[in-house]
Amino acid sequence: MAPIVSWSEVVAVGAQLAAVDPLLQNAILLYVNNDFNVEVWGGEDSETLYLGRLFLAAHLGSVPRSGISGTTGAVTSETIGPISRSFAMSSSSGQLSTTPYGAEYQALLDTLGLGVVLI
């Protein structure tokens, strides 16, 4: 059986990911745990497969989503009381380089000679 990633393992690489909506967590985990080509990633028990799943899950959990106001981009600052939030402007919020986890995932892809292929 290929190494399955749990959300607690994702949170271990980025504590802020504990705040990701549980429905989104489940969707991300279903995607990363079922849609990887296991053979391309080194087989069922490959550490590379596990790390690929882990970093992609963390990346997908970190990618900013459009809110009601349509804001996207990385959060650059937050304040709890009296609530405020600032976002970086990003023209390419879906790229792997937009999060440190996506960059790690891209590095794994590069070691496998896969370029920008996601799965």
pLDDT tens for each residue of 72-87: 555 566 667 777 666 5
Q: Would you say 90 and 72 are in contact if contact means Cβ atoms under 8 Å apart?
A: yes
Residues of the chain with pLDDT under 70: 1-2, 65-79, 84-94, 115-119
Q: Decide: helix, strand or coil at residue 85.
A: strand
Burial class (CB in 10 A: 0-12, 13-18, 19+), 112: middle
pLDDT one-digit tens code per residue, 102-112? 999 999 999 98
Query: What pLDDT shows up at residue 3?
Result: 82
**Residue/partner pairs of 94-100 with CB below 8 Å, 24 or more apart:** 94/63, 96/59, 98/63, 98/74, 99/58, 99/59, 99/62, 99/63, 99/74
Please report, for the chain, the start and end positions of each structural domain, with discontinuous segments joined by +. 7-65+95-112
pTM of the model: 0.72
Query: What pLDDT shows up at residue 73?
Result: 52
- Name the DSSP letter for residue 2: P
Query: What pLDDT shows up at residue 36?
Result: 85
